[in-house]
Amino acid sequence: MKRLDEARREIEYLREQILYHDYRYYVLDSPEISDAEYDQLMRRLRELEAEFPEFVTPDSPTQRVGGAPLSSFQQVEHPLPLLSLDNAFTEEELRAFHQRVQRRLAGQPIVYVVEPKIDGLAVSLIYENGVFVRGATRGDGERGEDITENLRTIPSVPLRLRGENLPPVLEVRGEAYMDRQDFDELNRARAEQGEPLFANPRNAAAGSLRQLDPRVTASRRLNVFFYALGYHEGLELETHWQVLEYFKTVGLRVNSLIERCSSIDEVWDFCQRMQGLRSSLTYDIDGVVVKVDSLAAQAALGATGRSPRWAIAFKYPAEEATTVVEDIIVQVGRTGALTPLAILRPVEVAGSTVSRATLHNADVLRAKDVRIGDTVIIRKAGDVIPEIVKPVESKRTGKERVFTFPDRCPVCGAEVQRLPGEAVTRCIGKACPAQLVEGLVHFASRGAMDIEGLGPALISQLVEAGLVKDPSDLYFLDPGKLQALPRMGKKSIENLMAAIEASKSRPLARVIFALGIRLVGEAAARELALRFRSMERLKNASREELQAVPMIGDKIAESIISFMDEPQNQRMIQRLAEAGVTMAEEEPEDAPTVRPLEGKTVVLTGTLARYSRQEAAELVRSLGGRVTSSVSRNTDYVVAGANPGSKLTKAQELGIPVLSEEDLQAWLEE
Ligand code: IVH
């Protein structure tokens, strides 16, 4: 009996904790514990519930995926109809709305609440005494589909509300949506599986919620923002703002960008500000919803037909448009990646003209089945490059041409290769001019060698004229030969030569970044420069040494090694060094000036008294040495501490000098 009581109490405690941390995470957006700690709470709760199934309740946080697949959705009647909104597309229409409201409220001061209009799908949820009991889609506004089991799987939908004295019945409304990034990932995975793609995050959210199997919904990353009160009993609130505040206290997630305005000018200002923010949000919005704050005023204003008189949606220009695919070409990037690109009949979308759109890779091209001549829906959301949503199949005439992905590089004709597990197809041609041009563009770019005036056009000319075959050639250019290039006068040549000269003194990190080693971005290059301090040491670094550097994992280490193994790259680095490009950087001030281990390979074994393994390795490096993990004929010294293992035996067998910690120390003090 005691044990049972204890278990019940612990279960209740864990549920309280989880509810609290959900609130911190989803509502306050300020978690107090790590994901691992949260998982720990869930794990313990699951354990206890497995042992004491009599305590499992439907509102337990473990019960997010319980339901079995349905054969169809039940229709349910909404306790109050879900209205829709009238739209305003211009500032005038927005101000006209305000005038109508003012007239009807006869001079009362009007406060508005302004909210981003989330581009998802409306859902209605009913809580009875704080417990989530039913959820439905909007449907026709009167009746929707019962999607309770699917809504339960969404982490930001509380299964139980927080706090005491919860109303006996509370219907809340909100927008279910999918973050753009989750949408991209979902589509990428679907393309890989050859499954049809979703056109946009809204369709992905709708498709995910209208799944008969809740386990499928659970696997999609959905989210909800709550924005309206529906039918309720036992709740006294005066303003919409208070409703939203109340939502937050009970654990219902509310959008953090919502504001209150006391004039239509402020409302208009918010609409413009939000439009500026639109592309940087993680989710799609299609406008701003403007609502009269006072609930009494709302009631007085009432509704006309399907929409309330107290609210309006200010709509932004669509981020989608239709146009025609005039051609599909394949571009070759710096790493040889082949990217299919659709050439479009230019069209205006969300304020700019779009004339090309990426098709990403062969999988996406196949999944979207875009053909030359197709009429397509394109979408430009967020900061991303415009994308083709899908072809409008009803517009096909039969004259469209299916594009076949090339099996040779369209630029150099070399073979292309697609490694297992990778989505990209690459040109493996060693002398591919496209790769060369892109590589040079990268080399000269702002974050790399920053060679002013050396842009893609000039680079293409240099490559076409055969003056540059790899980046090191830039430093050996003959100014006389540059005169033959179009638009290259004396002054431009002088400027270019000066810019190239200036780039020689860029810090080592930028030189490493400029090399264009696959997967080595600016941050990784900085870490590598910091750790190795010279190109020579980076070149000779072992896999283990590379992996010991922050940010450098398996794949990056592999990529560095294969880059450095390439004789062509070795020669290029050699020539960069000859030209006087930065190849090493000052040691930190306290570093020893004598470098008795310069060029030597050292293996550490056993426990040292004064240094950790990490510190000892640093020390060897500061003396100029290179640390490797296993003893071979190439090893110069083995440093042995207490309890050395087989490495010492092997060193003795091979006759490799063995040093003690003291020897190392003595060198340091020299
Ligand atoms: S309030 C009577 N607030 O827009 C007012 N709607 O065109 C009911 N929507 O069906 C809606 N964000 O799906 C409201 N912050 C927000 C919203 C919002 C998105 C959607 C909702 C509704 C549609 C109306």
Per-residue HEC secondary structure of 152-171 comes to: HCCCCCCCECCCCCCCCEEE
| pLDDT, tens digit (0-9, with 9 covering 90-100), for 379-436 | 887 666 788 989 999 999 999 999 999 999 999 999 999 988 888 999 988 789 899 9
The ligand 1 atom nearest the CA atom of 307:
2
pLDDT score at 1: 64
Residues with Cβ within 8 Å of 218's Cβ and at least 6 positions away in sequence, in order, are: 64, 65, 153
| Residue 581 CB-half CA count within 13 A | 29
Residue 651 corresponds to which tokens in the numbers above? 């060193």
Please give the average per-residue pLDDT across 360-380, as a whole number: 92
pLDDT score at 42: 95
Q: How far is the CA of 279 from the centre of ligand 1 (A)?
A: 20
Q: How far is the CA of 133 from the centre of ligand 1 (A)?
A: 22
- Residue 559 · residue 517 · CB < 8 Å: yes
User: Which residue of 289, 295, 310 sits with most ligand 1 atoms within 8 Å of its CB, as the best mutation to test the pocket?
Assistant: 289
pLDDT score at 668: 67
> Residue holding tokens 């701003």?
288
**Residue 669 above 70 pLDDT?**
no
- Global pTM reads 0.68
Which DSSP state fits 401?
B
**Residue 165 above 70 pLDDT?**
yes
Q: State how beta strands 311-315 and 87-88 pair.
A: parallel
User: Distance (Å, rounded) from C-alpha 382 to C-alpha 662?
Assistant: 60
Q: Whose CA is nearest to atom 12 of ligand 1?
A: 117
Report the range of poorest mean pLDDT among 50-54, 394-398, 606-610. 606-610
Tell me the pLDDT of the chain averaged across its residues: 91
The CATH number of 320-395, from 2.60.40.10, 3.30.70.270, 2.40.50.140, 3.40.720.10, is 2.40.50.140
The ligand 1 atom nearest the CA atom of 121:
13
CATH number corresponding to 601-669: 3.40.50.10190
Q: Give CATH 1.10.287.610 domain extents, the chain.
A: 2-63
pLDDT score at 96: 97
Q: How far is the CA of 88 from the centre of ligand 1 (A)?
A: 14
Q: How far is the CA of 109 from the centre of ligand 1 (A)?
A: 24
pLDDT score at 297: 96
**Residue 590 above 60 pLDDT?**
no
Residues with Cβ within 8 Å of 324's Cβ and at least 6 positions away in sequence, in order, are: 344, 345, 373, 374, 375, 376
Ligand 1 neighbours by CB, cut-off 6 Å: 83-85, 115, 117-118, 122, 138, 175, 227-228, 289, 308, 311, 313
- Residue 227 · residue 173 · CB < 8 Å: yes
Task: Give me the architecture of the 87-315 domain, per CATH.
Answer: 2-Layer Sandwich (3.30)
User: Which residue of 82, 87, 89, 117 sits with most ligand 1 atoms within 8 Å of its CB, as the best mutation to test the pocket?
Assistant: 117
pLDDT score at 110: 96
User: Which residue of 118, 223, 259, 310 sits with most ligand 1 atoms within 8 Å of its CB, as the best mutation to test the pocket?
Assistant: 118
Beta bridge partners of 328: 342
Report the range of poorest mean pLDDT among 183-192, 545-554, 615-624. 615-624
Please give the average per-residue pLDDT across 633-662, as a whole number: 84
> Residue holding tokens 């581009």?
119
Topology of domain 412-587 in CATH is DNA polymerase; domain 1 (1.10.150)
pLDDT score at 620: 80
The amino acid sitting at 194 is G
**Residue 482 above 60 pLDDT?**
yes
The ligand 1 atom nearest the CA atom of 308:
2
Q: Give CATH 3.40.50.10190 domain extents, the chain.
A: 601-669
The amino acid sitting at 198 is F
Q: Of residues 230 and 625, which shows the higher confidence score?
A: 230
User: Distance (Å, rounded) from C-alpha 537 to C-alpha 551?
Assistant: 18
Please give the average per-residue pLDDT across 206-210, as a whole number: 94
The CATH number of 2-63, from 1.10.490.10, 1.10.10.10, 1.10.287.610, 2.40.10.10, is 1.10.287.610
Report the range of poorest mean pLDDT among 83-92, 155-164, 549-558. 549-558
Catalytic residue annotation = 117
| pLDDT, tens digit (0-9, with 9 covering 90-100), for 209-256 | 999 999 999 999 999 999 999 999 989 999 999 999 999 999 999 999
User: Distance (Å, rounded) from C-alpha 326 to C-alpha 330?
Assistant: 14
pLDDT score at 649: 83
Of 664, 541, 549, residue with least CA distance to 605: 664
Q: Whose CA is nearest to atom 7 of ligand 1?
A: 85
User: Distance (Å, rounded) from C-alpha 491 to C-alpha 497?
Assistant: 10
Q: State how beta strands 259-261 and 121-128 pair.
A: unpaired
DSSP codes, 535-558: HHHHHH--HHHHHTSTT--HHHHH
Q: Give CATH 1.10.150.20 domain extents, the chain.
A: 412-587
Residue 641 banded pLDDT, cuts 50, 70, 90: confident
**Residue 441 above 60 pLDDT?**
yes
User: Distance (Å, rounded) from C-alpha 359 to C-alpha 371?
Assistant: 11
> Residue holding tokens 């050395």?
644
**Residue 588 above 70 pLDDT?**
no
The ligand 1 atom nearest the CA atom of 228:
1
Q: How far is the CA of 289 from the centre of ligand 1 (A)?
A: 7
